Amino acid sequence: MTSTGGSRIRCDLDFERGGRQAGYLRAPLSRNTSGWGTVEIPIVVVKNGSGPTILLTGGVHGDEYEGQIAVSRLGRELDPARVQGRVILIPALNIPAVLNDTRLSPVDDRDMSRCFPGNPRGTFSEMLAHFVDSVLLPLVDVSVDLHTAGHSMESALSTNMHYLPDPAARRRTMDAAAAFGAPFNVVFWGVDEGATLTSSVERRGILSLGTELGGWGRVHVEGVRIGERGIRNVLKHFGVLEGKPDTVQRDGSPGTRHMMVRDQGCYSFAPAGGLFEPRHLAGEDVREGDLAGFLHFVEDVDRAPIEVRYRRSGVLWMASGPGRVQRGDVVAVVMNDYDDALAAG
């Protein structure tokens, strides 16, 4: 049993105990049919010897599957005898959203990664965020939070990180990303910051990596492979598991290509609501001015589609997914090769 301070979430596991523990975090959720009901969040802790603490999370967004699969598989397979340090694995952190197969939690209609640092007396997602921030993060040296583009987009298989002004912290994080070994690592400048898990992790000086391993509301075969290999690679990189990270790509190239999404010019937006027909797949090279896609108005018999164009040359990081888009939705994100001088400017 771990003391969880001001949190209303209970934890039967002892984070200081050696060996493997598997169980549940218990979060109170009062419902019409169960006044004292709880929601159980699966968690595995593996600890042995001495070394850093790595937090691996999946399912912050419920409709992003690759991380849920990768983290739960490693949670079943990780042998404590081979671990030096501590690994905390939570494959389905936002379990109401996971079981509902949605980005937002059906309990309070919130995006958990817009609820940090959370509130122990707030909505369910805020309570969960507060637990992660105030109980888990103080234990953690490295956080890998696995995402995909969910239903909203499809992503090139990538890790991602915020641009960190401190060169040493930036280098350390880029090295960890290269060890993860996705085809791309994307350095970006935050969106809607302050309320994300990443921001909470960084505020505490913890090394933070995210991933985008697919999307379009399906399980990406290569995304699962890269995700599973990547979290094992990170454990090796930090000496928690023995061995060298394997970062050879499927096409035989030796490692990760560092990229950046520097400004708003990388984004193309839908100028109206309609049916979007993308012209490229994530990971393809695109050029400024090229057609990103057509916005169709199939309900109007003679109305011509609107052409949406790329505003930057580079590699397509995110391609539109859902078909129907609203005015203002992002339909394409282009990334460029990382350049330290440009990034600092």
**Binding pattern to Zn ion, positions 201-240, x when CB under 5 A?**
----------------------------------------
Q: How many CB atoms lie within 10 A of CB 344?
A: 10
Quote the least distance from Cβ 83 to Zn ion, whole Å. Answer: 27
CA–CA gap between residue 262 and residue 313 (Å, rounded): 13
> Between 75 and 210, whose beta carbon lies closer to Zn ion?
210
Q: How many CB atoms lie within 10 A of CB 63?
A: 22
Quote the least distance from Cβ 114 to Zn ion, whole Å. Answer: 11
Length of the chain as a residue count: 345
Residue closest to 68 by CA, chosen among 196, 191, 220: 220
> Between 241 and 282, whose beta carbon lies closer to Zn ion?
282
DSSP 36-94: T-EEEEEEEEEEESS--EEEEE--SSTT-HHHHHHHHHHHHH--GGG-SEEEEEETTSS
> Between 108 and 111, whose beta carbon lies closer to Zn ion?
111
Q: How buried is residue 340: exposed, middle or buried, by Cβ count under 10 Å (0-12/13-18/19+)?
A: middle
> Between 48 and 199, whose beta carbon lies closer to Zn ion?
199
Quote the least distance from Cβ 214 to Zn ion, whole Å. Answer: 11
Quote the least distance from Cβ 175 to Zn ion, whole Å. Answer: 24
Helix (H, G, I), strand (E, B) or coil at 176: helix
DSSP letter assigned to residue 304: P
Question: Residues 279, 282, 285, 286: is their CA dihedral positive or negative?
Answer: positive
Q: Are the C-beta atoms of 144 and 54 separated by less than 8 Å?
A: yes
Question: Radius of gyration of the chain from Cα atoms?
Answer: 20
> Between 7 and 159, whose beta carbon lies closer to Zn ion?
159
**Binding pattern to Zn ion, positions 122-161, x when CB under 5 A?**
-------------------------x--------------
**Piece in contact with Zn ion (CB under 5 A), picked from 45-53, 54-62, 254-262, 296-304:** 54-62
> Between 47 and 154, whose beta carbon lies closer to Zn ion?
154
Quote the least distance from Cβ 94 to Zn ion, whole Å. Answer: 10
Quote the least distance from Cβ 170 to Zn ion, whole Å. Answer: 23
Quote the least distance from Cβ 27 to Zn ion, whole Å. Answer: 20
Element (H, E) at 232: helix 221-237
Quote the least distance from Cβ 217 to Zn ion, whole Å. Answer: 12
> Between 59 and 245, whose beta carbon lies closer to Zn ion?
59
Q: Are the C-beta atoms of 275 and 323 separated by less than 8 Å?
A: yes
Count of positions on this chain that bind Zn ion (CB under 5 A): 3
> Between 64 and 202, whose beta carbon lies closer to Zn ion?
64
Q: Does 47 bind Zn ion (CB under 5 A)?
A: no
Question: Residues 101, 104, 108, 112: is their CA dihedral positive or negative?
Answer: positive
Place of tokens 């203002």: 328
Quote the least distance from Cβ 210 to Zn ion, whole Å. Answer: 8
DSSP count for the chain of H helices, then E strands:
7, 19
Phi and psi, residue 316, nearest 5°: -75, 115
> Between 7 and 200, whose beta carbon lies closer to Zn ion?
200
**Binding pattern to Zn ion, positions 56-85, x when CB under 5 A?**
-----x--x---------------------
Residues near Zn ion, by CB under 5 A: 61, 64, 147
